[in-house]
Chains A and B, each alone.
Chain A
């Protein structure tokens, strides 16, 4: 049976072991302990640099044979083909995971849905809307300390707030910030405390708000007695959210540590004018919004507003479109005639190329922020994935996944990891372990795994 380890493992616990010839992750030490050995420290305080976790999502997979050169065994070196050329400069900050499968055990492949749900929750959904378990970003967020303003920060460049691939369950899925303006207002708006400002005075209004929320929390016991068991769980989640909000206020009542990496970005404006940026699914609009949101998200992370983030470039049905064209990206993947000479659907491929360019932009946003002796990307781990291998046929085996960043020196990069048909959950399990989540196996049914991808561990 799969279990969460009952308590954190101490420093220098066993990192790896061999069982039946396979590499198995038994347990991992907490990240902060690890950082004392391998990370660098904040110049101002001597405290270890935090390691952050995030996800980046794109819809509709890759064009097989034109994205990454397949390999037969795990090895250093990723060979980028045309679709992924934009990633070439980031080779040393990436890992590519190919050949991992997604066994659904007879459950339907709910198109463009099963793929992301299974790879992020470890369980294949049994309906077209079920999210059967928390997504891995929330498991990481639950584990990391609550010393940041936001437990997670979610944004989507496609303008649709519900397109957030982070959820605790089917009925517990937060809306993502769906425009640069909204993301900016939430993070860098009135309630942002500039860590580099000399004077800091706790805001009386926040103290009052904390008291108000505390009073709301006082009713917990009385209310719990009023409802049945299933509703108690829902109320419990509500009160957890209240505590999270209280914690958020707590952090804002403390003077933030001086932070040289943190620089408040300019408010997003269309062409510098006093107008909001355009919204919509026209591809250039999505790309422009994503670029701005990527920079904002990176700065939110650098300013220690959150340690966990989720960024969506395009939705799982990728409704992106080009002006004047009747076909969206999604429709193209099914109905565009492949070019005989090229061997692929040229316009769908064009969208895929733009998507990988956007991915490179996102990586740049983190790589361009200096932190300690390196960059923010050195202290970040990003799980970048999609929901299908080849959208044209909705295949979920071989879904491409990247990891980005060095996670504070805990992960090797520049590797092409070959799954050989192993469950895709091995990637999520390894990511969580790198982030210090005390989990020794993850997933259900054929997606259950205890096999850490040890080849990428430092």
Chain B
């Protein structure tokens, strides 16, 4: 734990009462209905790692989620499980269960050993499902539920002639059960407010844990939920503090930024091997790691102003990345080293990292349009309209065009009325990043022609890519975007209309806190807004004809 974080915590503890008093000024929200969301792939992986250890490997393919309000986590709140998707999840569940009960792992993952390896042992099975089931389902299991799993393991053991195979079969069933795969929130009457609802303790625990750790609640958080402590300010604060101080916070925050920065596709990012020989899948994955390391260092270790992530020269470099950045990396172990881009180097902030610039480019060249769109949509939470469906591309196809650089080519966007509206949002931003090529490497010319890399973002003019970071840092939309994304991530849904005032308030508090992310996380996690639920709508769900899509 860094000194700064410890100091912050002490300050918080001392001022707890003052903070709680301040809560009275917090705009009230009514939230949304209790939800049901599918575990995202990172959450699924994190839970398995937390419960069974990092040594458990997970293969297979997850059904794709629809990015909603900028986050896959929000898309998961509407996601369904297809037959093919379930088949994959079933295969993963069996593989995980087999690894958990394997000879290599059983001694430290199972709480007991059977009396006879080839026969059922209901006592041992009950012990296993009582503890493991609680962590996987994020609640204590009722006696009959444990009994049902034990019975299943018993029958399977008799059929297969192996206690561990039988246990694995029942565990696989648990891992494919809807209560594991979906986080199903439950509301209950709020004793403090007549007729109002609140999330039950377990649901609160899950929201909190997935928000801060990107994973399921641990034993202590479940205990606090069972004891009703999360319904009390002091009990909630104690747990929030504990989660924030845990090393697992870093993993949780990494998962958030991985989602926000749309890094889920970076592992299959392709670049043309002839044009960009230094680029590879390994480089792409390490580029992601570089940005996440930079963010964690800045935001957690140094508790820096969030806006500084757009201008920092500090970062981390690996050997593979050294080839792209053209930096000698003397780490024979292939590890990471801290690095600071020297004065005069135009690399400032995460938007100039390989992860961002290569991800938002084509396979064989850069793309000012894609980069401009990504800056606006991912980092500023702005919406760039879809391109119109009927565009006359004749102007792009002019054989006499003197287009040598991207700026020359994209000039058509500004003179073609159908294009100009949207491209004026994207191109001036992206053209300012043209000193970085499609693989994230610095350059000053394109095919021998000097690049004019001047750009602008919402009135902030700059001369080259060194200006994009300061332009983002000074843009009020950047910290507001983080607030909105974090809140949507915490609640795993699109913020409701009744939460707009609260979000504005949160943006103000973020500024007052010096744009310190741990403070923002704490505020969100402590505010009632994050847990507010309202009664289900009495309106009947719209049912549509499966063939025609008509209401029926």
Q: Are A and B subunits of one complex? A: yes
Interface residues of chain A, those whose CB is within 8 Å of chain B, are 1-4, 108-111, 114, 121-123, 128-129, 132-134, 139, 142, 150-152, 154, 159-162, 168-175, 177-178, 182, 204-205, 207-209, 211-213, 215-216, 219, 223, 226-235, 237-242, 244-245, 248, 279-281, 319, 321, 323-328, 331, 334-338, 340, 345, 392-396, 439, 441-444, 448
**Is there an interface contact between B548 and A208, defined as CB atoms closer than 8 Å?**
no
A207 to B61, CA, bound (A): 25
Check: B344 CB closer than 8 A to any chain A CB.
Answer: no
B63 within 8 Å of A (CB atoms):
yes
- Chain B residues 374 to 424 lying within 8 A of chain A, measured CB to CB, are 386-393, 396-399, 409
Please tell me if B295 contacts chain A, counting CB pairs below 8 Å: no
A-B contact count (CB 8 A): 233
The 6 lowest CB-CB distance pairs between A and B, nearest first, are A109-B389, A326-B364, A133-B549, A162-B64, A324-B274, A174-B84
Query: Could you tell me if A211 and B155 are in contact, using CB atoms closer than 8 angstroms?
Result: yes
Interface size for B (C-beta < 8 A) is 76
Contact B85 A175 (CB under 8 A): yes
**Is B33 among interface residues, defined by CB-CB distance under 8 A?**
yes
Closest to B539 in A: A229
In angstroms, how far is the closest chain A Cβ from the Cβ of B295? 26
- Answer whether residue B169 sits at the interface, using C-beta atoms and an 8 A cutoff: yes
Instruction: Report B-chain residues with C-beta under 8 Å of the C-beta of A230.
Output: 541
Contact A240 B36 (CB under 8 A): no
Identify B272's interface contact among A128, A161, A323, A336, CB under 8 A. Answer: A323
Nearest-neighbour CB distance to chain B for A419, whole angstroms, equals 20
**A123 to chain B: closest residue by CB:** B549
Q: Which stretch, B43-51, B170-178, B310-318, touches the partner chain A?
A: B170-178
Which one of B75-83, B208-216, B347-355, B482-490 contacts A? B75-83
A218–chain B nearest beta-carbon distance, Å: 8
B156 CB contacts on chain A under 8 angstroms: 208, 211-212
* Binding site secondary structure of chain B: loop
Digitize B61-105: 1 where CB-to-A-CB distance is under 8 Å, 0 elsewhere. 111111000000001001111111111101000100000000000
Whether, in the assembled complex, B268 has its beta carbon less than 8 Å from a beta carbon of chain A, the answer is: yes
Contact indicator A337/B398 (Cβ below 8 Å):
yes
Q: Is the CB of A122 within 8 A of B548?
A: yes
Against A, the Cβ 8 Å flags (1 = close, 0 = not) of B223-239 are 00000000000000000
B386 touching A108, Cβ below 8 Å: yes
Asked whether, in the complex, the Cβ of A212 is within 8 Å of the Cβ of B152, the reply is: yes
> Given A114-B389, A321-B364, 11 other A-B contacts at CB below 8 A?
A111-B387, A139-B547, A151-B83, A160-B268, A168-B82, A208-B155, A211-B152, A216-B176, A233-B541, A326-B272, A439-B547
A326–B550 Cα distance when bound, in Å, is 45
Q: Are A237 and B61 in contact (CB under 8 A)?
A: no
In the bound assembly, the distance between CA atoms of A123 and B80 in angstroms comes to 21
A113 to chain B, nearest CB (A): 9
Q: In the complex, what's the smallest C-beta–C-beta distance from A209 to chain B, in angstroms?
A: 7
A182: shortest Cβ distance to chain B, in Å? 7
Q: Chain A residues with Cβ under 8 A from B66's Cβ?
A: 129, 170-171
Contacts A169-B80, A444-B549: A394 and B389 contacting too (C-beta < 8 A)? yes
- Tell me if B513 counts as interface (CB < 8 A to partner A): no
Complex contact A182–B61 (CB within 8 A):
yes
Contact across chains for A394 and B391 when beta carbons are under 8 A apart: yes
Complex partner residue of B392 from A219, A234, A393, A444, CB under 8 angstroms: A393
- Contact A178 B61, CB 8 Å, known A212-B152, A326-B275: yes
When the two chains form their complex, are residues A175 and B80 in contact, meaning their CB atoms are under 8 A apart? no
CA distance A215 to B173 in the complex (A): 8
Contacts of A151 in B (CB 8 A): 83
A-B contact pairs, 16 of them (CB 8 A): A2-B547, A110-B386, A133-B546, A151-B83, A175-B64, A175-B88, A182-B61, A209-B169, A213-B90, A215-B152, A242-B86, A245-B86, A324-B275, A324-B364, A396-B389, A444-B548
